[in-house]
Amino acid sequence: MDEIRETIIGILQDLHEDVDFENETRLIDGKILDSFDIVTLISELSNEFDVTIPADKIVPENFNSADALANMIAELEDE
Amino acid sequence: MLFTDSLFIFGLILLFFVYFLIPQKYRWMLLLAASIAFYAYSGWTNLLYIGATAVTTFFVTKRIEKMAAAAKDAVSAHKSEWSRDEKKTFKEAEKKKRRRWLILLLVFNFGMLAVIKYGAFTMNNLNGIIGWFGERGTLPVPNFLLPMGISFYLFQTMGYAIDVYREKYPCEKNFARLALFVSFFPQLIQGPISRYDDLAKGLYAGNGFDAERVQLGVQRILWGYFKKVALADRILPAVTLLISDPEQYQGMYALLGMLYYTLQLYADFTGGIDITIGIGQVLGIPVTENFQRPFFSKNITEYWRRWHITLGTWFKDYLFYPVSVAQPMLKLSKWSREKLGKNIGKYLPVYVSTIAVWFVTGLWHGAAWNFIVWGLLNAVIILISERCTPLYNKFHKKCAWSNSRPYDGFMAIRTTLMMGCLRMFDCYRDVPLTFKMFGTMFTKWNVQIFADGSLMKLKLTGADYGVLIAGTLILFTASMLGRKGSVRKRVWERSRVLSCCLTVVLLLTVLIFGAYGIGYDSSQFIYNQF
């Protein structure tokens, strides 16, 4: 799980280098990530973890923090 | 029926009284009856279209929900027997079946819209293509009357169906209640495109009389009427004149036409939405806000987050994201990473989806090349602006003065002018003419029209200009004050008497400054035609 989280933080840092993704918990609610970032992020995550992220998973609860993203990826890998 | 028709206003006042007099449990039924009556008034045949949407959505969403429940039961029943892979395969097969029902529903409803709204456009273009090959275009061109508000209620209802498929919330089991969600009359003219989980609770609650809510709701309605009848309808004759004769009205006239239309569209659309939200507020039904001071935006991307918000979020949730994360798009991304480099592969899906969404957004506004080009130009500007973001960030870091209020103001004016220029596609009959008229603003410097009295020959009198200038200043001031929260609410909290005075002032303003008089005939809302 920690490995997934670290990889996700690396991808997020590529998108916005000036954000503290370790601790930020309002990536969507705080409008830090916009729709362009989300789609780019999904494309990167799908490529990195070989998972399919369906459109119905694109909700703030899954994208608000690196932890939430890691949980979603872990769940998708389990499915 | 127009919001400005005396029959509508009389009916609305009557509805408010009856709504609060009847028992709570019957109030939503009264709203349904009012919605059907309102819609039937625009033409009985229109009821068939909206009825077909309501009926098909009701049965399909119920079916999808039943299938999802049955699939869950089957997985639970075989929990210990099936392996993880077997469960996964079963779930995927079941989801596929449910998806087929959803697609059937979407194809039927959007198909209906495609035939009615785009049939003639498609056939005319096909005939044009046939003409290129030397044949005379002979395909029949259908001529359907567009049912009122179809682009709004259809999107709202299909959003609900997709959400039920995604198991975001349970489907509505009572047909009459669903029919009210589909046809809620204040939204039928020009939206907003509400979400079921935002609107439904208020629709069926039958909230009772609340003095504060009713007072603030009535003020919002009057504010909307002020924008519509005192500003939008007042400037309409000048806009119509300026765009009706492109040979005569070029250069600075085209600039004036663009500015006048910007004001007209803003006052017309936001005014209509104010009336809708105000009606909802009186009835205790929260309706989603559709604007957030759009002309204060610093760039076009921000503008589209603040203008017609519910259409933007609809496209984002139901088109942009699904298209962006669809398998073919991910394959395209993978392929381009390998063949064209990591950077292109990373951004390609988002660019392709953006162009696709803006193409459809253009089409949503109307079946004409003007709207398609308008949509694509929006996409181009948004994408260029996205690519230039690192450059802008560097600029803002280096130049401290660019982080000041005056510079924000400059960017807001720039965005407003840019959007105004793009909106010229609404006005002129075709794409080449629109580009030509845009070009004349830079090539024909007939600036003397601002001083030689020409402005008085545009079907606007000195008094009209006075009302329009004062009205625009009032809109600007209200927007500035509104940044700290609802002005009406603040007035109410300060003093009930002051709030009542505000209502009376608003009413008198609408009555005195509305563009009435001999020959006055209020226009339909611009967005109702989309």
Dihedral of the alpha carbons of B300, B305, B306, B308, in degrees to the nearest 10? 100
pLDDT computed for residue B144 by the predictor = 79
Question: Smallest Cα–Cα separation from B293: which of B415, B466, B426?
Answer: B415
Cβ–Cβ contact B361 with A under 8 A: no
Given a contact cutoff of 8 angstroms between Cβ atoms, the answer to whether B297 and B412 are in contact is yes
Consecutive 10-residue averages of pLDDT for chain B (530 residues): 87 96 96 94 88 97 96 90 86 94 97 90 85 75 84 96 96 96 93 94 93 96 95 94 93 96 96 96 96 93 94 94 87 82 79 92 91 96 89 88 90 95 94 96 93 91 93 94 91 94 94 68 63
C-alpha to C-alpha distance for B403 and B396, rounded to whole angstroms = 7
The answer to whether A58 contacts B325, with C-beta atoms less than 8 Å apart, is yes
Cβ–Cβ contact B494 with A under 8 A: no
Residue A57 DSSP symbol: G
A25: domain CATH number is: 1.10.1200.10
C-alpha to C-alpha distance for B273 and B269, rounded to whole angstroms = 6
**Cβ-based contacts of A43 with chain B (< 8 Å):** 324, 330, 333, 345-346, 349-350
Cβ–Cβ contact B66 with A under 8 A: no
Q: Give pLDDT tens digits for B167-210.
A: 999 999 999 999 999 999 999 888 899 999 999 999 999 999 99
The answer to whether B350 contacts A39, with C-beta atoms less than 8 Å apart, is yes
pLDDT computed for residue A37 by the predictor = 87
> How many structural domains are present in chain A?
1
Which residue does chain A place closest to B83, by CA atoms? Answer: A79
pLDDT computed for residue B518 by the predictor = 47
Paired tokens of B181: 């969600």
Of B166, B345, B386, the CB nearest to A56: B166
Of B337, B345, B349, the CB nearest to A39: B349
Residue B405: CB partners within 8 Å, gap ≥ 6?
A: none
pLDDT computed for residue B69 by the predictor = 95
Mutate: best of B346, B384, B393, partner A, most A CBs <10 A: B346
Mutate: best of A36, A61, A63, partner B, most B CBs <10 A: A36
Bond from prior residue into B390 cis (ω within 30 degrees of 0): no
Which residue does chain B place closest to A50, by CA atoms? Answer: B330
- The CA angle B170-B28-B284, to the nearest 5 degrees, is 95
Cβ–Cβ contact B213 with A under 8 A: no
Paired tokens of B506: 């608003």
**What are the Cα distances from residue B29, in Å, to B22, B40, B47, B203, B448?**
11, 16, 17, 10, 60
The answer to whether B325 contacts A36, with C-beta atoms less than 8 Å apart, is no
**Full DSSP string of B318-384:** IIIHHHHHSHHHHHHHHHHHHHH-HHHHHHHHHHHHHHHHHHHHHHHH-SSHHHHHHHHHHHHHHHH
Cβ–Cβ contact B320 with A under 8 A: yes
pLDDT computed for residue B521 by the predictor = 55
Residue B167 DSSP symbol: T
pLDDT computed for residue B416 by the predictor = 95
Which residue does chain A place closest to B382, by CA atoms? Answer: A36
**Residue B349 region by backbone torsions, left for phi larger than 0, else alpha for psi between -120 and 50, else beta:** alpha
Residue A57 domain boundaries: 2-78
Residue B480: CB partners within 8 Å, gap ≥ 6?
A: none
Whether A40 shows a pLDDT value over 90: the answer reads no
The answer to whether B330 contacts A43, with C-beta atoms less than 8 Å apart, is yes
CB contact residues (below 8 A), chain A span 12-31, against chain B: none
**Cβ-based contacts under 8 A for chains A and B:** 53
How many CA within 13 A on the CB side of residue B389? 13
Of B324, B334, B354, the CB nearest to A42: B324
Alpha helices in B172-299, H assignment, sequence order:
175-183, 196-205, 211-225, 233-244, 252-283
Residue type, B224: G
What is the reported pTM? 0.90
Which residue does chain B place closest to A17, by CA atoms? Answer: B390
Burial class (CB in 10 A: 0-12, 13-18, 19+), B193: buried
The answer to whether A39 contacts B353, with C-beta atoms less than 8 Å apart, is yes
pLDDT computed for residue B130 by the predictor = 85
pLDDT computed for residue B67 by the predictor = 96
Which residue does chain A place closest to B390, by CA atoms? Answer: A16
Given a contact cutoff of 8 angstroms between Cβ atoms, the answer to whether B368 and B125 are in contact is no
Range list of β-strands (E), chain A = none
Catalytic residue IDs of B: 365
Paired tokens of B164: 């039920």
C-alpha to C-alpha distance for B347 and A35, rounded to whole angstroms = 12
The answer to whether A56 contacts B167, with C-beta atoms less than 8 Å apart, is yes
B164-184 in b/e burial notation, b at 16+ Cβ within 10 A?
Answer: bbbeeeebbeeeebbbbbbbb
